[in-house]
Amino acid sequence: AAGTKWNFLPFKPGLVGGHCIGVDPYYLTHKAQAIGYHPEIILAGRRVNDNMGPYAAAELVKAMIKTGHTVASSKVLVMGLTFKENCPDLRNTRVVDVIRELEDFGCAVDVTDCWADNEEAVHEYGISLVGAPKAGDYDAVFLAVPHREYAAKSSKELRAYLKDDGVLFDLKGVLPLGEADLRL
């Protein structure tokens, strides 16, 4: 019902990055602390947002373990690297947190992003983008940034990248409920 109202903004769980929302609260909290105010709510929000990448990666790892995968030898495809959908901007993307956490678990991670510039991804994060992921090659697919090109894919098309027992994580819930193995 709320979505039918004028000026409704449909916020969803996800990774909060970018050059504005992911950074500006720190300027505000710094100034607030400088004048003697302790902005606990703002700082709590930032702690939640800053830990969402590792949390999401850990949830994927748990799902992989439950389906019998040996995580340390698993191959994961992360779809989307930019900080938000349909935008080539890589500044302060929190998808990198997911990738690093999965790598810390021992996963081999391929990253694809139809909007991001490969040279910038390599320069800023040391991540070389995969142009065309191979079908049936992955133990898990992590749909991190649902650019319109990815959101237009059905769960069947996304599952085509997976091995038979693979796990599909739809971070932002763009697929119909029940079509992904995991979502926030």
Give the residue numbers annotated as catalytic, written as ranges: 20
| 34, 26 Cβ separation under 8 angstroms | no
DSSP 162-184: EEEEEEEEETT--SPTTSSSEE-
Residues ≥6 apart with Cβ < 8 Å to 183: 169, 170, 171, 172, 173, 175
CA-to-CA distance for 157 and 148, rounded, in angstroms?
A: 14
